Amino acid sequence: MNMLPLFENTKVNVVQNNNFVEDFDVLVACEDTLKFLETIPDKTVELVVSSPPYNIGKSYEDRTVFKEYLGFQKQVIEECHRVLKSNGNFCWEVGNYMEKGEV
């Protein structure tokens, strides 16, 4: 993986087959988010950046009813909270569109 200058002195671990590696500055995985998160011990990370599907009908996503979408996001957020250190930060980048009448 080619590193941006910002990451030159950063240990970027690309996790494969959900094998958690303890020694890292940055963890990246191309895995199902919940399966990946469950491999990370409690209170391990200082920052989580999450950009989940927005559920607004983008070409790469299957739109679902808002309640189901939120249910899945709740599971992800709970896992992110579990792996964050008590002084950690969480960046959750989402859309905010909802159909009229959808809850």
Ligand X SMILES: C[S@@+](CC[C@H](N)C(=O)[O-])C[C@H]1O[C@@H](n2cnc3c(N)ncnc32)[C@H](O)[C@@H]1O
* Residues within the interface to ligand X (CB under 6 A): 32-33, 51-54, 60
Q: Quick one: 6 or 86, whose CB is closer to ligand X?
A: 6
What length does the chain have? 103
* Shortest Cβ 52–ligand X spacing (Å): 6
* Shortest Cβ 86–ligand X spacing (Å): 26
* Shortest Cβ 32–ligand X spacing (Å): 4
Q: Quick one: 86 or 96, whose CB is closer to ligand X?
A: 96
Q: Are 47 and 91 in contact (CB under 8 A)?
A: yes
Q: Which residue is nearest to ligand X (CB)?
A: 51
- Number of neighbouring beta carbons within 10 Å of residue 43: 14
Q: Are 10 and 3 in contact (CB under 8 A)?
A: yes
Q: Quick one: 53 or 88, whose CB is closer to ligand X?
A: 53
Q: What is the Cα–Cα distance from 60 to 71, expressed in whole angstroms? A: 20
